[in-house]
């Protein structure tokens, strides 16, 4: 199977490539340092599997890239690689088209088995997160908890929120995401409304709490 690895740390890309290339049924055909480069590598190589880091600052995050790649190249299975065993991230990556979610500190054999499982059409979820996924499935048709408005955010809003929290201006955000300033302003207003926030310090506090500054 052909594999692309996307991670912002070169040593991580190299390490995973060595592990996977050692397998008789796997070949790493390309690597990428952020979401945009991951998209381009998938477009070029059409891999069977994309191993995608969720957090790749300062480039496009794995969460945003996952949605874009899944929409255009659905034949490429995406396995999210992350340090965070957070059920909110799990929910969003699966909703955006990922086929699995594995923690970076997992043993090599777990990663290899997860890739094979996803390649065969399955979904791999780290055992620690399985309970959260079942709970989310059971409550899917219930009203979203008003005390947890994070799930109300769109993919674009999740992309913009950490950039606002980091202090980027509207023009800078627009340039980074290749969108208009008006789009940034509109999404910022929606973020503040959905999260019931009034000031930027409140937004920064929320972003820190949700670990969104890692994006």
Residue 99 DSSP code: S
How far apart (Å, rounded) are the C-alpha atoms in residues 153 and 110? 32
Domain boundary among 82, 114, 138: 138
Q: What percent of the chain has pLDDT over 70?
A: 84
The predicted-structure confidence for 170-200, as pLDDT tens digits, reads as follows 999 998 888 899 999 999 999 999 999 999 8
The predicted-structure confidence for 15-27, as pLDDT tens digits, reads as follows 999 999 999 999 9
CATH number of the structural domain spanning residue 170:
1.10.10.10
Domain boundary among 92, 110, 138: 138
Q: What is the DSSP pairing of strand 2-6 with strand 100-103?
A: unpaired
The predicted-structure confidence for 74-101, as pLDDT tens digits, reads as follows 999 999 988 766 666 677 778 788 998 8
30 and 52: one domain?
A: yes
Q: Which two tokens stand for residue 174?
A: 């627009």
pLDDT value of residue 168: 86
Contacts 24+ apart (CB under 8 A), 116-125: 116/25, 118/49, 118/77, 118/79, 119/1, 119/48, 119/49, 119/77, 123/94, 123/99, 124/79, 124/99, 124/100, 125/90, 125/100, 125/101
60 and 166: one domain?
A: no
8 Å CB contact between 59 and 39: no
Domain boundary among 138, 173, 190: 138
Top-confidence range, 32-46, 47-61, 94-108? 32-46
121 and 154: one domain?
A: no
Q: Name the pLDDT band for 131 (thresholds 50, 70, 90).
A: low
116 and 161: one domain?
A: no
Q: Residue 177, Cβ neighbours under 10 Å: how many?
A: 17
53 and 106: one domain?
A: yes
209 and 107: one domain?
A: no
159 has a pLDDT exceeding 90? no
Is residue 49 included in any domain, yes or no?
yes
118 and 173: one domain?
A: no
- Please give the residue range of the domain that contains residue 197: 149-214
CA 215 remoteness from chain centre: 8
142 has a pLDDT exceeding 50? no
CATH number of the structural domain spanning residue 123:
3.40.50.2300
Higher per-residue pLDDT: 205 or 30: 30
Phi-psi region of 31 (alpha: psi -120 to 50; beta: other; left: phi over 0): beta
Nearby residues of 135 by Cβ (< 8 Å), 6 or more positions away: 87
Is residue 144 included in any domain, yes or no?
no
pLDDT value of residue 60: 66
């Amino acid at each position: 199977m052909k594999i692309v690895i996307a991670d912002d740390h070169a040593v991580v890309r190299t390490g995973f490539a060595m592990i996977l290339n050692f397998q008789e049924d796997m070949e790493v055909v390309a690597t990428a340092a952020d979401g945009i480069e991951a998209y381009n590598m998938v477009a070029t190589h059409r891999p069977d599997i994309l191993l995608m880091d969720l957090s790749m600052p300062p480039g496009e995050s794995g969460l945003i890239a996952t949605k874009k790649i899944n929409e255009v190249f659905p034949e490429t299975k995406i396995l999210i690689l992350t340090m965070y065993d957070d059920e909110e991230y799990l929910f969003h990556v699966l909703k955006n088209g990922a086929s699995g979610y594995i923690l970076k500190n997992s043993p090599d054999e777990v990663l290899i088995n997860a890739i094979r499982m996803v390649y065969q059409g399955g979904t791999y979820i780290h055992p620690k997160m399985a309970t959260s996924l079942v709970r989310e499935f059971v409550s899917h048709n219930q009203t979203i908890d008003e005390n947890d408005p994070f799930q109300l955010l769109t993919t674009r809003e999740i992309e913009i929120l950490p950039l606002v929290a980091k202090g980027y201006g509207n023009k800078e955000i627009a340039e980074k995401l290749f969108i208009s300033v008006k789009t940034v302003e509109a999404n910022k207003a929606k973020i503040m409304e959905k999260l019931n926030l009034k000031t930027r310090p409140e937004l920064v506090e929320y972003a820190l709490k949700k670990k969104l500054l890692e994006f």
